[in-house]
Structure 1
Amino acid sequence: MPSLISAPASPVDRGVSGPVRRQARLTAGLVATVIFLTAIAPLATDMYVPAFPRVAGDLSATATQVQLTLTTFFVGMALGQLIGGPVSDQHGRRRLLIASIVVMTAASIVCALTPSIAVMMAGRFLQGFAGGWAMVIGRAVIVDLARGARLVRILNVIAAVGGIAPIVGPLLGAVILQLSHWRMSFWAVAAMGVAMTLAVLAAVPETLPVEHRHGGGLRAFMTNGRHVLRQRRYIGYVLVSGSAMGAVFAYVATSAFVLQSMNGMSPVAYSADFAANAAGMTIAALIAARLAGRVATRKVIAAGQVAALLAGVAMLAGALWWDTPLPLAILCFAVLMTAQGLIGPNGGALASAEVPEHPGTGSAVLGFVQWTAAGVIAPIAGLGGEHTAVPMALLMITCVALSMVGLLILARPAKTSPAPTGAVG
């Protein structure tokens, strides 16, 4: 990692008084803190997914209502990223990042104390909103300081190392279920929020100098938004990454029911399988990081798309004709999740590379699309109830197909323009 982050960036104000100016650098501590920030979403969902059946029982809720707590979280994430990115382009990164983590921590406490499914949904929305705000600013910090193949490598490393969270999350959630109550998972997220705040205070400087900030207000946001949305290749890569996110959360929302309710897996066995799939995604993202600058990133994405499409077709066949046997479900889920390590981070990195002049707005639109896809797809995946995987399989196929449209049609290379030196697409 040090070889990826050693180069200095533009001088910025670290937020201290006086005329002293320092250079913001992609230090190991800064990257590690951004990795920690990316853990917000998986920790806030994966620690809690194994407890879905118990949450439903304790709060007198249906399976669909419990899945809707994922939806409210994802909607909050989407709106938080849409607003947080442009606002940070106007006011800077550091102070807004700290404030968002504090709010996320408070919302986690609300979820831990919830008396009803309605309060849980509200708390999850606020948790997602603040978490999305923090995640988009963390990503913008990286885009402030890196470009080209280096940006792709760093974002893949962040995605790969950040994959520890979805590995640890369900395992920790299962342990909590065995030793305590599902509410403890939210207390754990709150404690991690405190740790995140301290990490930002220690390791993240202000990376957007005052002279590089954009004017504020709705008009400026609309102007910046129109600029990034006019970039055809940016839109294509956003579709690549957003569709990949949709496929992932179709899995997150339904895998507990497919493997536990339909096939009799225990919560511990399910959590171990969930962690193994997250490990596959992490390894794939690390491989993608090593390939950046050596193999065209578009080819890496295409390989992941083909693998994910085959997994979706196999899952649909199994659901229609063989009642989704356990070995087939495990294999298809493993291939699907591993493929996302090749698709999602690379698609997001190439999207950011298309709009370097508006990193906050570009990250905000990307995050909004990703988490809107997650929020819409999660409840749709559960429409068939607890005893069929057909909706989930159809969503897998649809998401991969949309991702391919984004890569092959919208983000196709311009025929008349030669690739710039160091191009990663």
Structure 2
Amino acid sequence: MKQQSLKFLHVSTLLAFILIPLGGLTTDIYIPSLPSMAQGLGVSMRSVQVTLLLFMISSGISQLFIGSILDSFGRYRINVAALITFSIASFVIATIPNIQVIYAMRIVQGITVSLIIVGKRAFFVDMYRGEQLKHYTSLFSIVWATAPIVAPFIGGYLETHFGWRSNFYLLGSLTALVLFFELRYTGETLQTSRAFKRADIAEVYRMMLGTRDFTLGLLIIGFSYSLLVVYGMVSPFIIEKKYGLSPLVSGYSSLASGIALMSGGIISKILINKPLLFKIVPATVILLLLVAGMVLTTAYTENIWILVGFTLPLHVISGFVFNNVYAYCLQRFTQSAGTASGLTGGGIYVISSVVGYGLINLFNIRSAHSFAYINLIIALLMAAAVAVFVNVKKVKQ
């Protein structure tokens, strides 16, 4: 097995950071194309939204179990196989415009993305310790936020000039390029493998999920990410269908959303040494106030500026809370880095996709006002999780 060389550690670290946003890139790049994709495939709006849901559910569920596989069999060979499969699936979606085939390939992409990003998050725990590890994990959500910043802007441009299929051609080409550098510069980083024994693995999962602050942390980051998921799913239809604006405007709005998310992560990084509760409690209160203001304002008037004007500060707060609690969960069980990484990443996707898609189907979202009510429900759920998390942490102290 090819072993990780310290000589190329910095290159491997850069490649890991490039691949961590792959999940977001795979969803956000074609968000501006959702309306035209539905039209081109001859299916409903809800049918193309399912392509997002299938990816998130398959990625989330597989991440819950993939960590133990990576802790037993290593990272490198699994990562290489996943990159090859993901690239092929992207080209299949682009060349076979059939909704059923796309559904199947999105599930394949969800599973392979899980293998890639869980392994890359575990890479940092494998190779770094102490303050270095804390520094890198605090950068995760900032780096991850590059996808919602860059992807919709690129996707909107590609949609306008080349059509929705070009998004998937680009995904396939980019992962093939990264694969070349992975083969050249990276290797196995797992130092000590765990025997793949189902009883032992089940005990590790029981221990982690039985740790209340960890499971509450998963709920908090899942709810915070739900705010972005819902916006990504419904904003193109509000902006393009209700307001009559172009896919480029959808792309720009998602670009602004991504910048807001990253800004929250950067603020979190600046305040890295402040106590966790000192940061997330005031942030949750501000989130509730913003959502309440959005509900009241959109009851009387709405337009693109009101929609984006409330969404951006909401996503700043979301990114801030996400970054703090995400880093906390990843560092909670360093002795089982792959499993903890998988549970954390999988929990985000499962919770956010179930909450987001469930609320979208429960409410007929065709305006900023109905969208505001969805945000209010998510904010209340998140506030309840934060309140219990605070009590658990105070008892532990």
Q: Same fold (TM over 0.5)?
A: yes
Q: Which residue of 2 aligns with 1:9?
A: none
Matches within 5 A, 1:101-116: 101-116=83-98
Q: Which residue of 1 aligns with 2:225?
A: 245
In structure 2, C-alpha distance between the alignment counterparts of 1:369 and 1:114, rounded to whole Å: 31
Matched, 1:357 2:335: yes
Closer, same or farther: CA 130–198 of 1 in aligned 2, 3 Å: same
Matches within 5 A, 1:3-42: 15-16=2-3, 27-42=9-24
In structure 2, C-alpha distance between the alignment counterparts of 1:327 and 1:36, rounded to whole Å: 32
Kindly indicate whether the alpha-carbon contact (under 8 Å) linking 1:156 and 1:286 is maintained by their aligned counterparts in 2.
Answer: no
Matched, 1:347 2:334: no
Matched, 1:304 2:286: no
Out of 163, 177, 188, the residue aligned to residue 206 of structure 1 is 188
TM-score, normalised via structure 2 length:
0.91
Deviation at 1:56, TM superposition (A): 0.7
AA partner of residue 139 (structure 1): R
Out of 310, 327, 332, the residue aligned to residue 332 of structure 1 is 310
Point out where structure 1 has 5 or more consecutive residues left out of the alignment. Answer: 1-13, 419-425
In structure 1, C-alpha distance between the alignment counterparts of 2:377 and 2:183, rounded to whole Å: 42
Deviation at 1:149, TM superposition (A): 5.5
RMSD of the alignment, in Å? 2.4
Deviation at 1:381, TM superposition (A): 4.3
Deviation at 1:37, TM superposition (A): 1.1
After superposition, give the CA deviation of every residue in 1:106-136 in whole Å (9 maximum; x if it has no partner): 1111211233222211111111111122111
Kindly indicate whether the alpha-carbon contact (under 8 Å) linking 1:34 and 1:139 is maintained by their aligned counterparts in 2.
Answer: yes
Matches within 5 A, 1:8-407: 15-16=2-3, 27-146=9-128, 150-209=132-191, 212-293=192-273, 295-319=274-298, 321-322=299-300, 324-383=302-361, 384-385=363-364, 387-407=366-386
Between Structure 1 and Structure 2, the one with more helix by share is 2
In structure 1, C-alpha distance between the alignment counterparts of 2:187 and 2:92, rounded to whole Å: 30
After superposition, give the CA deviation of every residue in 1:9-48 in whole Å (9 maximum; x if it has no partner): xxxxx725xxxx96699x4433321221122122211111
AA partner of residue 307 (structure 1): I
Kindly indicate whether the alpha-carbon contact (under 8 Å) linking 1:51 and 1:182 is maintained by their aligned counterparts in 2.
Answer: yes
Kindly indicate whether the alpha-carbon contact (under 8 Å) linking 1:382 and 1:391 is maintained by their aligned counterparts in 2.
Answer: no
Deviation at 1:405, TM superposition (A): 3.2
What is the aligned length?
396
Kindly indicate whether the alpha-carbon contact (under 8 Å) linking 1:80 and 1:132 is maintained by their aligned counterparts in 2.
Answer: yes
In structure 2, C-alpha distance between the alignment counterparts of 1:22 and 1:171, rounded to whole Å: 36
Deviation at 1:145, TM superposition (A): 3.5
Deviation at 1:191, TM superposition (A): 0.8
Closer, same or farther: CA 149–333 of 1 in aligned 2, 3 Å: farther
Deviation at 1:201, TM superposition (A): 2.8
Deviation at 1:414, TM superposition (A): 4.6
Kindly indicate whether the alpha-carbon contact (under 8 Å) linking 2:307 and 2:368 is maintained by their aligned counterparts in 1.
Answer: no
Closer, same or farther: CA 415–123 of 1 in aligned 2, 3 Å: closer
SS of 1:208 mapped into structure 2:
coil
Percent identity of equivalent pairs = 22
Please, which moves more after superposition, 140-149 or 224-233?
Answer: 140-149
Deviation at 1:227, TM superposition (A): 1.3
Kindly indicate whether the alpha-carbon contact (under 8 Å) linking 1:106 and 1:190 is maintained by their aligned counterparts in 2.
Answer: yes
SS of 2:33 mapped into structure 1:
helix
Deviation at 1:156, TM superposition (A): 2.9
After superposition, give the CA deviation of every residue in 1:243-268 in whole Å (9 maximum; x if it has no partner): 11222101111111222222233211
Kindly indicate whether the alpha-carbon contact (under 8 Å) linking 1:141 and 1:207 is maintained by their aligned counterparts in 2.
Answer: yes
In structure 2, C-alpha distance between the alignment counterparts of 1:215 and 1:385, rounded to whole Å: 49
Q: Which residue of 2 aligns with 1:5?
A: none
Q: Which residue of 2 aligns with 1:4?
A: none
Deviation at 1:151, TM superposition (A): 3.6
Kindly indicate whether the alpha-carbon contact (under 8 Å) linking 1:284 and 1:341 is maintained by their aligned counterparts in 2.
Answer: yes
Kindly indicate whether the alpha-carbon contact (under 8 Å) linking 2:277 and 2:390 is maintained by their aligned counterparts in 1.
Answer: no
Closer, same or farther: CA 60–323 of 1 in aligned 2, 3 Å: farther
SS of 1:372 mapped into structure 2:
helix
Kindly indicate whether the alpha-carbon contact (under 8 Å) linking 1:81 and 1:135 is maintained by their aligned counterparts in 2.
Answer: no
Kindly indicate whether the alpha-carbon contact (under 8 Å) linking 1:111 and 1:186 is maintained by their aligned counterparts in 2.
Answer: yes
Point out where structure 2 has 5 or more consecutive residues left out of the alignment. Answer: none
SS of 2:335 mapped into structure 1:
coil
